[in-house]
Structure 1
C-alpha cells in the first residue's frame, strides 16, 4: 500500500538550532508510523543565526528533502553590520532608548521593505519549483510552517494554482507577536501585514497553532478550522550526568532584552543577603543567548558573581543541563502578546524530573500546562513574596536531597501522540 505523500515547507531544518527546528523534524520522524510519507522542502543556502549539527542525526535517512536556493538579506547585511545583523536575526532587539542609529535603520528596513519578513524573496521561485514537483510526486497536501510567515505565501500561491489541500502551521502568531511593535512599521506596512494574515487564514483549508490563546485570536479572523497542536517532548537517548552539587537555577534558551525578570533577580539578591548558607550554595546558570540588558540588570543588583554564563550549547548538551540542575527557570515577557507563547523547552523541562519556576503574564497558556501536569509553579511579575517562599522551600528540599518534580499526564505531549493528532487532519 502506497503511503500518502505530504509536502512540508519549512525554513528551519538541521543544522539550524533552536526549538523551531524540532517541531517538524519530529513530525517527519513519526508521520510514517501513520502511513504518511513526508517530503521536506527547505532553502539550499539559509542564513541560520544558530546552528546545532547534533540535530542532523535525527533526520530520517529515508526522507526525501528538496532544496531551493534563497537570497538572504541578513547575510548581505552582516557584511557591513555583523553584530547588529546577527542579534536582530536571533530576535534580540535592544530597548528603544538604547538602540543605535544602525539598529533603528535595520529594524525600519526589516519591517517595511520585507513584508512579511526577510525571506519573502524565496516565495515566487519556490512556487515555480514546487508546482512541477507536486504534480510529479502526486502530492495532495501541502503544509507550510512559520515563522518566517512568508512561507505561508508559498502555500497561498500553490493553493491558487493547484487543487491541493493546504494546512498552515503557526508556531508563533503573526501580527500580534511581541516584537512586531518594535519593527517601526509604517501605516502602510501594518495594513499590508494584516491583509496577508487575513488572506492566509481564510484561504488555508486547515490552520494549526501551538497555543489556545492564538486559536481564540484566529477564530476572530477566520471561519476555517483551527486546531491546537502544541510542541512536545521526545524520547532522548540516555545521557550520563551528575546532579549539580550547588543549588543551581538554570535558564535554558534565549533571554531577550524584555525577557528580564527583575522581580526574580531581586528575590535572589535578597535571599543571598539574608541567608548565609544560600549564598554559599547558590548558582545561576544561563544556558543560551542572553542580551546585554539582562547582564546589566544582574550586575546592578549584585548577582554577577553568582552567574555561570554558559552560552549557546547543542540540544544534546541542553538536555544534560536540564537534568542536572536543581530548579529550571522559564521566563516570558510580561505582556498581553506573550500569553500565547509556549516555549518548546517547556515540554523537555517537564520530563527532566526537575521542578520548574515559571514567571510570566497572568492568564498564559504556560500556566495552564504547568498546573495541569504538576511540573512546577507559575508566578506573575508581582509575586515577589510567593517566588521567595517557593525558592526557599526548594532550597530546604535540596539540602535534604528531596528536591524533585512529580509530573502527571505527560504522555499526550509526546511527539508521537502529537503526530497522531496531525494525522487526523491529514
Structure 2
C-alpha cells in the first residue's frame, strides 16, 4: 500500500475553454494540464459541454484534442444555455410555458447569485467534483478565467471541503483591458465576489506584471499571494525540419521573390485591422515590397456571425477583384489546423503582430512569433504589456503608434530586414524566445502548487 508521500497529488482544474475549444485561452489551459500531468500530478479537468462548443458558438479545433495528455480525465458538466438559445424547440418546459417566470428566475440568478451567465456550469462542476472527491480526494483546485465563474466554483468547493484553490487570471474580470478602466461600476456584485474569492485563494496568478500590479493595488491584503506566470510557446508548434530550414536562410535570400507577410491568429473586432490594412497598402508602394502579400491565417472572430463584418473592415470581398481596383496585397487564407501552424510561420518572411487593447495586454501569439526568428512588425496601441516581452527581441520593428504612415515605414523596414536576414540573426531571436517556452514559464508555477499542497 502506497504511503502519503508516494501518492500522486491530485488537482481539479476548472478550465471552461479546453480542447477542442479554440478560444484564445485554450493553449494556456492545455499547456498547464499537460505540464502538471508530466510532472506527476493526477489531473481532472472540468470543461465546457461539447454541445455548447459545437452547436452554440461553433468554435472548435479537433486537432487540439489529440494533443492533450491521455492520462488527463476530462469532465464536461452542464451549462444553462438560456441566454444563447434562439430556437423555441430548445427551450425548457418552464420557458415555453411561463416565459416571464423563466426570465425572472434567470435574471435573479445573475443579479443575486453570481453575475455571469456561465455560473450554472460552475455549480454543476462543483457537484460533479464533490462526487469524485468522495471516491478519491483532491489536494488542490486550479481555476482559470474567463469565464470567471470558474473562480466561484473553486471558492465554493473550498468552502465545502477545505481544499485550497489557486486563481489563474488569463484575462481580467473587473478591469476593461480595451479601455484601461474598471469594467463595472462601484457597488456591482462583481467587486464583492472578486474580493471574496481573492481573500480565500492560496495563490493568484496573472499573465503579466501590469495586471498583477493593478490587482495588487486594489487588493493590497492579497498582494503577497500574487505572482506572474507569463504565457509561452509550445514545443509542438515547431514543424519537423525547422532547424534545418533556419540554417538554409542565407541560401533562401539568393532567390528574389515577393515578400510574404503573415498574421496568424483569430482576428477580432477589438484589433486595429483597418490601420493594418491601410498601412500595408501604403508599404507596398515601396520598391522593396513590390507585390508583397499580407496573408491572414486563422478564424475571423470567435462566433458564427463574425466573418462578414471582419472581411468588410479589411476590404476583403468574395470573388475576383473588379477591373481597375487596386490590389491591396491582403489575402485571407482561412483557418489553419494545429499541425500546420508551424509551416505557416516558417514560410513567412515577416510576422505581423496585430493586437487590440491597452497597456495590460500581452497576447499569447507573440511567444510563438518569436520562436521562429523572423522580423516582427507591431500593429497595436503603444505601451501594451507585450512590449515588455518583445523588448529583448532583436528583430522587432515597432512604430510605437497607430499612425498609418509610421506603421507603413516599420513594415518597409521589417521587409528590408527579411531580405538580409542571416541564420545568426534568426538564432539570436530564438535565444530570446527560449526564455518563454511553456516549460520555462510553468516550472515556477508547478513548484508553487506543490508548496501549497505540502503546506
TM-score, normalised relative to structure 2: 0.75
Shift of 1:29: 1.8
Per the alignment, in what secondary structure is the counterpart of residue 220 of structure 1?
helix
- Alpha-carbon spacing, 1:303–1:370, altered in 2? closer, same or farther (3 Å): farther
1:416 aligns with 2:427: no
Using the alignment, how far apart are the partners of 1:135 and 1:117 within structure 2?
Answer: 28
Shift of 1:32: 3.6
Counterpart in the other structure of 2:298: 287
Using the alignment, how far apart are the partners of 1:297 and 1:423 within structure 2?
Answer: 42
Counterpart in the other structure of 1:6: 11
Using the alignment, how far apart are the partners of 2:298 and 2:10 within structure 1?
Answer: 39
Shift of 1:383: 5.1
Shift of 1:256: 2.0
1:207-230 CA distance string (max 9 Å, x none): 011111110011023222111101
Unaligned runs of 5+ in 1: 81-108
Counterpart in the other structure of 1:16: 21
Shift of 1:5: 1.1
Per the alignment, in what secondary structure is the counterpart of residue 267 of structure 1?
helix
- Alpha-carbon spacing, 1:369–1:231, altered in 2? closer, same or farther (3 Å): same
1:161-220 CA distance string (max 9 Å, x none): 2211110111001121346999x97x69x7122222222222212101111111001102
Residues 350, 418 of structure 2: 8 Å contact kept: no
- Alpha-carbon spacing, 1:252–1:401, altered in 2? closer, same or farther (3 Å): same
Alignment of 1:25-36 (within 5 A): 25-36=30-41
Alignment of 1:203-282 (within 5 A): 203-222=200-219, 223-224=221-222, 225-236=225-236, 238-239=239-240, 246-272=258-284, 274-275=285-286, 278-282=289-293
Shift of 1:71: 2.6
- Alpha-carbon spacing, 1:283–1:330, altered in 2? closer, same or farther (3 Å): closer
Residues 246, 283 of structure 1: 8 Å contact kept: no
Shift of 1:363: 2.5
Shift of 1:321: 1.4
Alignment of 1:345-360 (within 5 A): 345-360=365-380
Counterpart in the other structure of 2:104: none
Residues 287, 318 of structure 1: 8 Å contact kept: no
1:66 aligned residue (56, 66, 75): 75
Residues 32, 442 of structure 2: 8 Å contact kept: yes
- Alpha-carbon spacing, 1:327–1:159, altered in 2? closer, same or farther (3 Å): same
TM-score, normalised relative to structure 1: 0.80
Using the alignment, how far apart are the partners of 1:368 and 1:401 within structure 2?
Answer: 24
Per the alignment, in what secondary structure is the counterpart of residue 188 of structure 2?
helix
1:22-70 CA distance string (max 9 Å, x none): 2121122222443322222223435223211111121111222333222
Residues 288, 416 of structure 2: 8 Å contact kept: no
- Alpha-carbon spacing, 1:239–1:162, altered in 2? closer, same or farther (3 Å): same
Per the alignment, in what secondary structure is the counterpart of residue 75 of structure 2?
strand
1:121-177 CA distance string (max 9 Å, x none): 122232222223224322121111110111111011112222111101110011213
Per the alignment, in what secondary structure is the counterpart of residue 195 of structure 2?
helix
Name which of structure 1's ranges 209-218 and 40-49 shifts more when overlaid on structure 2.
Answer: 40-49
- Alpha-carbon spacing, 1:423–1:284, altered in 2? closer, same or farther (3 Å): closer
1:37 aligns with 2:48: no
- Alpha-carbon spacing, 1:69–1:384, altered in 2? closer, same or farther (3 Å): closer
Q: Aligned-pair RMSD on alpha carbons? A: 3.3
Counterpart in the other structure of 1:296: 312
- Alpha-carbon spacing, 1:255–1:379, altered in 2? closer, same or farther (3 Å): farther
Shift of 1:294: 4.7
Shift of 1:75: 4.8
Unaligned runs of 5+ in 2: 1-5, 89-106, 246-251, 302-306, 317-324, 450-455
Residues 282, 306 of structure 1: 8 Å contact kept: yes
Using the alignment, how far apart are the partners of 1:309 and 1:176 within structure 2?
Answer: 33
Name which of structure 1's ranges 145-154 and 388-397 shifts more when overlaid on structure 2.
Answer: 388-397
Using the alignment, how far apart are the partners of 1:382 and 1:313 within structure 2?
Answer: 28
Residues 360, 378 of structure 1: 8 Å contact kept: no
Name which of structure 1's ranges 4-13 and 281-290 shifts more when overlaid on structure 2.
Answer: 281-290
Residues 169, 207 of structure 1: 8 Å contact kept: yes
2:198 aligned residue (197, 201, 226): 201
1:192 aligns with 2:212: no
Using the alignment, how far apart are the partners of 1:303 and 1:172 within structure 2?
Answer: 40
- Rg larger in 1 or in 2? 2
Using the alignment, how far apart are the partners of 1:251 and 1:200 within structure 2?
Answer: 38
